[in-house]
Amino acid sequence: MAFRNANMAMHAIKFNSATSSDFLDLYNNLLNEELIADNAKPKHKTFAPSQMRCDRLSWFRLRGVQPDKVKNPDATLAYTAQTGTACHEAIQKRLSEHLQNDWISVQNWVDANPELFTDYDIEITTKGYESMIDMKHPYPIRFACDGLVKFQDKVRLLEIKTSEFSSWNELIEPKSAHMSQITCYSTLLHIPDVLFLYQDRQYGGLKCFEVQITETDWMQTRQKMDHVLECVETNIAPDGLPTNDSWCSPSMCPYHAKCKEWGR
């Protein structure tokens, strides 16, 4: 027991002098200020596909509601997001250099299929290897597409996800929480074929799952967005996720406190 206590005490050590303690405090304060400022930024009055599992969250965004104030932001979550971004970029770089013309920009896809986008008000910009989509019609929505690839004679949506090893190791299919996001992409870009590429952030292992989004899925996605927009017009809050859902938490939802005020 004494050895265990000593070992735990060693792991608790974060500095070895007043100077190193002060420097660590300096950095942690800078990080905390940055995360608080990022959290306080107004959200775009648009749908966000990565958050579309929850109608209530989309409703808050579309109404321009300020996120909850956060005193102690989750630095671990922010670091995880930064690590995930680095993994994305490495995968995208490797694939784009190898596939060349079969690595397709969203703008080229839209330009090549004008009949699919006749009623769209859409602006597409490139940021690194991703296509940033800002749409006003048929739905107000902003999102970043990881990539479009032509593989085995089909144009497919590529969705890259990263996770810790334990979660990645248990995967036998795409996570259900990720399906609403990619179904939204598929619906708006008219691409039914999807490849999910999952990477373990710890060791770099990869798993890939093929998914086909159906026209029924497209119809249900449009109905979901139409319902939320109707709720915005009438100022009637739609239902949120069940309170026991892992995404219904202060660390995952920027409107967790405000949602409680409106009732569930």
Q: What is the pLDDT of residues 161-189, one digit of tens each?
A: 999 999 999 999 999 989 999 999 999 99
Give the best-scoring range by mean pLDDT among 34-38, 101-105, 124-128: 101-105
247 closest CA partner among 42, 21, 52, 112: 52
- Local confidence band at 43 (pLDDT 50, 70, 90 cut-offs): confident
Phi, psi of 165 (to 5 degrees): -60, -45
pLDDT computed for residue 11 by the predictor = 58
| Angle, vertex CA 123, rays to CA 118 and CA 126, nearest 5 | 130
Query: Is 13 domain-assigned?
Result: no
pLDDT computed for residue 250 by the predictor = 83
* Interatomic CA distance for residues 57 and 131, integer angstroms: 24
- Give pLDDT tens digits for 189-201: 999 999 999 999 9
pLDDT computed for residue 41 by the predictor = 74
Strand pairing partners for 193?
212
Query: Is 6 domain-assigned?
Result: no
Mean of pLDDT values over 254-262: 87
Mean of pLDDT values over 119-139: 94
Chain-centroid distance of CA 34 in Å reads: 20
Strands 154-163 and 193-200, sheet pairing: parallel
CATH number reported for the structural domain that contains residue 115 in this entry: 3.90.320.10
| Angle, vertex CA 138, rays to CA 135 and CA 141, nearest 5 | 35
> Which of 48-52, 81-85, 120-124, 142-146 is predicted least confidently?
81-85
pLDDT computed for residue 3 by the predictor = 43
> Which of 44-58, 81-95, 218-232, 245-259 is predicted least confidently?
245-259
Mean of pLDDT values over 238-249: 88
What range defines the domain where residue 191 resides?
19-264
Mean pLDDT of the chain: 90
Query: Is 8 domain-assigned?
Result: no
Query: Is 238 domain-assigned?
Result: yes
Query: Is 11 domain-assigned?
Result: no
CB under 8 Å, gap of 24 or more: what pairs does 59-64 form?
Answer: 59/228, 59/231, 59/232, 59/237, 59/238, 60/255, 60/258, 60/259, 62/140, 62/228, 62/229, 62/232, 63/232, 63/235
Number of domains into which the chain is organized: 1
Query: Is 7 domain-assigned?
Result: no
Q: What percent of the chain has pLDDT over 90?
A: 65
Query: Is 12 domain-assigned?
Result: no
* Interatomic CA distance for residues 121 and 5, integer angstroms: 62
pLDDT computed for residue 8 by the predictor = 44
- Crossing angle of the two packed helices 75-99 and 18-40, in degrees rounded to 10: 70
- Give pLDDT tens digits for 44-93: 899 999 999 999 999 999 999 988 887 777 788 788 888 889 999 999 99
Query: Is 83 domain-assigned?
Result: yes
